[in-house]
Amino acid sequence: MERKHWIDNLRWATVLLVLFYHVVYFYNNKGVFGGIGGFGDYPQCKQYQDVVLYALYPFFMPLLFLLAGIGARYALQKQPGREWIKSRTRKLLVPSTIGLFVFQWMTGYFNSMKPLLIGENMADGLPAFAKYIIWAISGMGPLWFVQVLWLLCLVLLLVRAIDRKDRFYNFCGKANYVLVILLGVLFWVGEQTLIKHPRPESFDGLVNLYKPLFYLIPFLLGYFVFAHDEVQEKLEKAWIPLMACAVASGIVLVVSTFGQDYTSPQYLGSPLNCLYGWLMCLAMMGWFKARFNRTGTFAGYMTRSSYGIYVVHYLVIVSLGYMMKVHTSLAPWMMYVVLFVAVMLLSPTIYEVLRRIPFVRWCVLGERKQ
């Protein structure tokens, strides 16, 4: 099978969007969990730069799962399921478990420092080893994505066992434009699986973060529907009207909801959010299929390296972002600029260093010998 460069390019381009998102997210003032806080409380300080968060959050992670489903289909056409899940375990599960104790504990350290803004540190008074365990576990950061993806890979093997003769897969390849659009209803159904009123003392918030039932939908749609050349060609031909509709719905969504917690179950389950998220997934695939189905030196490097950059990038965000806000008097716009440039330059640098260290590259990046 000829390599589909547009899928590679869309994957690493989406990873770059994740990096950009995290730069803005780290200083958001909309009450979204995980950042260090903004430069004034909403609504007195609106921070219009947070529009980036409202524009990206509804679609970029579902799109990554969708592309992963397409990639899973192509990979399983070339190797048996046992070998595939073995490689997925090394690439996904090892960095998000063992890698926490080798590298991501540093992210956890800075996560524990953020409460200093309100006068306390969650690790104060604990023995050094206990602090290390807390830092490692709380250093998960964006690696929730790879943990969920590994779990969905296991589910896919069970689904494949049911559809051994590819009857359902072949049926899905006949999807027309109307059906492809209407698949967005499944997108909405998936969002309804979130816990609407999470209990603070429970793991409800963690379930809403991981959203395995929701992300299972784009993953399986990628495998069964969008891995077909015929469906990809339909998206390619319709990418302009799809993008126009996506942008229009996105503008309405942002204008009508700016200031709300865009990660809340109520927000994510709204029909408008689901419409925008689904249309953007379709439009992005069609756009890249039509305009970016080629490769080059930079694209080839990003295809090989974007996963490793994703794994290590949040340490740059949380460490430098924290240090600038707590220990400098830089203007807010300057913090955004410095943090954006740093994460784009330092993340590949850190990745290149780690991949050259034996054993560490296996623990942190899931890579074997070069």
Tens of pLDDT, residues 80-91: 999 999 999 999
Q: Element (H or E) spanning 187, and its range?
A: helix 184-191
* Exposed / middle / buried, residue 200 (Cβ in 10 Å: 0-12, 13-18, 19+): exposed
User: Is residue 237 included in any domain, yes or no?
Assistant: yes
Q: Which two tokens stand for residue 179?
A: 């059906």
User: Is residue 272 included in any domain, yes or no?
Assistant: yes
Residue 117, pLDDT score: 45
Residue 102, pLDDT score: 97
In this prediction the pTM is: 0.95
Provide CB contacts within 8 A for 292, sequence distance 6+. 5, 6, 9, 10
pLDDT (tens digit per residue) in 302-319:
999 999 999 999 999 999
Residue 123, pLDDT score: 61
Residue 118, pLDDT > 50, answer no
CA atoms within 13 A on the CB side of 324: 25
User: Is residue 273 included in any domain, yes or no?
Assistant: yes
Residue 155, pLDDT > 90, answer yes
| Residue 292 belongs to domain spanning | 5-13+63-96+140-311+355-365
Q: How far is CA 312 from CA 9, 92, 171, 351, in A?
A: 20, 13, 40, 7
The tally of domains found in the chain comes to 1
Q: How far apart are CA 202 and CA 80, in angstroms?
A: 39
Which band of pLDDT confidence, cut at 50, 70 and 90, is reported for residue 369?
Answer: confident
Residue 213, pLDDT > 70, answer yes
Q: How far apart are CA 129 and CA 338, in angstroms?
A: 33
User: Is residue 169 included in any domain, yes or no?
Assistant: yes
User: Is residue 23 included in any domain, yes or no?
Assistant: no
User: Is residue 133 included in any domain, yes or no?
Assistant: no
pLDDT (tens digit per residue) in 223-264:
999 999 999 999 999 999 999 999 999 999 999 999 999 999
User: Is residue 116 included in any domain, yes or no?
Assistant: no
User: Is residue 47 included in any domain, yes or no?
Assistant: no
